[in-house]
Amino acid sequence: MRIILVTLVSLFFNYTVHAQSIAKGYVYHDLNGNGKKERKEKGISGVSVSNGVQVVQTDEDGQYELPVGIDNILFVIKPADYKVGVNEFNQPQYYYIHKPEGSPSLTYKGVEPTGKLPKSVDFGLIKVEEPTNFTSLIFGDPQAYTLEEVNFFARGIVSELKGVENIAFGLSLGDLVGDDLVLHSPYIQAVSEVGVPWYNLMGNHDMNYDAVSDSLSDETFEANFGPANYAFDYGNAHFIILDNILYPDPRDENGYWGGFRKDQLDFVENDLKYVDKNKLIVLAFHIPLQHEKENSFRNADRQRLFDLLKEFPNTLSMSAHTHLQRQNFYTQADGWHQEKPHHEYNAGTTSGDWYSGEVNESGVPASTMRDGTPKGYAFLNITGNQYTIDYKVAGKTKDCQIEIFNPKVVAKGRGTQATISANFFMGTKGNTVEYRIDEGEWSPMNYVEIVDPSFVESLYRWDTIEELVPGRRPSNAVNSTHLWQGRIPTNLSLGDHQIEVRATDMFGRTFTQKSSYRLETPKDIN
């Protein structure tokens, strides 16, 4: 009996040692940028390093220690005024995967066994002059289900950004592909052509659906992109990237639910201990922090996140997932602790309405979203600890910010219920949107939450064709959160009249768009 007991204790001890080790290493000045610490390259003190939950800072010699188990990714939290190297696909190299036994057997390949923990896990940083005023590129849901759709993404989005200048880095907000995780590789190849360092986060269509627990649902993502939860500084902003999909859904083990595991929020708490309260905190995740329905997002997780941000006055959240575009604001009634509401930008997508709609001259579907927002991408502009966001419609000039829908011809002097509609893509309730006719007096337009008539018109075209055309019918319309209407004057002279719409966004910037209509003499019924 004593021999059996000793054996069991020994096995437990060996398993504990195997499952819980201490990782050591340095964060150092990578003077030659080769990613290997050399004798002359000194350590950097005061840099945060994490194992995905705990966060420590390097000592005066640049050294750190962290516990690791058999499923950890160690990563450096890049400080301002430094950069990390990138691989051939412009993916930042800031992490080390420690999975001595590799990923479990899954449909899509995870991480190969990494073997014994190295004696020293080091992270090289390259010193740079990093501006506090900068711009990053934001992509929502590339979400290609086939190689053809990866090609649509490459030709419809990436091609017009190839070689773009003055961009610090890019970030895709999840659903990089559509369930077929083999497509991660061609996605990586496509987005690398933009030519800037590119970060990614996990969406519900990037998961291992055959995983038995949420902590294992990101195995293929980790193999292709690194940690699903991480952070970095740029200028006076601190970015926190999070996986916010709970899978399988803990309520019934079917599907998924928006929310966070405890260890993920522990990471956020531990990370923020070392972040200056004056920095802009930018959180990025896939599913919006919806507060209307518990069905969409676990309320307790959103509340703990809000609690952790209580003492940070400058914040922004970014999400995607909905294939719509809207501005969400969270107030004290939603559990936000500050007087100024927390802004969440729910970004329009690069796949638009899942690559549907009419095909343009380049052979790429229009993919206008169900709320009337054309597919596109965003520029996050940061000045110090403040920000603005610009939405760029794919294939259009940057001043394309409003879509006007109005009748082309109207009977003079006859009342009509026809209206002038303005879809202000980055707008939200409370914005000032006005219109005028023939450079006359500006009049306010009325905010409405209805379907976008221009998008509905495109659906009718599909529903009334008598022969099939290339492409796929778009999804049905949903109410837009950025639509305004005004009456159409009929008491003017016969002929053409110009409509001009002026909209001011939440950042105080004004945009205009023009259209026209014609007044004709009413025709009698014979």
**How do the domains of the chain map onto residue ranges?**
123-393, 402-520
Enclosing H/E stretch for 283: strand 280-284
Closest CA to 354 of 220, 508, 497, 179: 179
Whether pLDDT at 173 is above 70: yes
Query: What pLDDT sits at residue 290?
Result: 83
Query: What pLDDT sits at residue 106?
Result: 95
The answer to whether 142 and 115 have CB atoms below 8 angstroms apart is no
Q: How far apart are CA 330 and CA 283, in angstroms?
A: 14
Mean pLDDT of 176-196: 98
Query: What pLDDT sits at residue 1?
Result: 39
Whether pLDDT at 8 is above 90: no
Query: What pLDDT sits at residue 291?
Result: 57
Query: What pLDDT sits at residue 294?
Result: 60
Query: What pLDDT sits at residue 15?
Result: 37
* pLDDT tens digits along 227-256: 999 999 999 999 999 999 999 999 988 899
The answer to whether 370 and 477 have CB atoms below 8 angstroms apart is yes
Q: What's the CATH architecture for 402-520?
A: Sandwich (2.60)
Whether pLDDT at 6 is above 60: no
Question: By CB neighbour count within 10 A (0-12 exposed, 13-18 middle, 19+ buried), where does 38 fall?
Answer: exposed
Share of the chain above pLDDT 90, in %: 91
DSSP code string of 289-304: ---S-TTTB-HHHHHH
Confidence of residue 375 (pLDDT cuts 50, 70, 90): very high
> Which of 363-367, 388-392, 466-470 has the weakest average pLDDT?
466-470
Query: What pLDDT sits at residue 293?
Result: 58
The answer to whether 175 and 204 have CB atoms below 8 angstroms apart is yes
> Which of 264-268, 361-365, 497-501 has the weakest average pLDDT?
361-365
Mean pLDDT of 93-101: 97
Output the CATH code of domain 123-393: 3.60.21.10
Query: What pLDDT sits at residue 253?
Result: 85
Confidence of residue 388 (pLDDT cuts 50, 70, 90): very high
293 versus 303: which is more confidently predicted? 303
3-state secondary structure 419-457: EEEEEECCCCCCCEEEEEECCCCCEECEEECCECHHHHH
Whether pLDDT at 62 is above 80: yes
* pLDDT tens digits along 39-52: 999 999 999 999 99
Does pTM surpass 0.85?
Answer: yes
Mean pLDDT of 502-511: 97
Confidence of residue 20 (pLDDT cuts 50, 70, 90): low
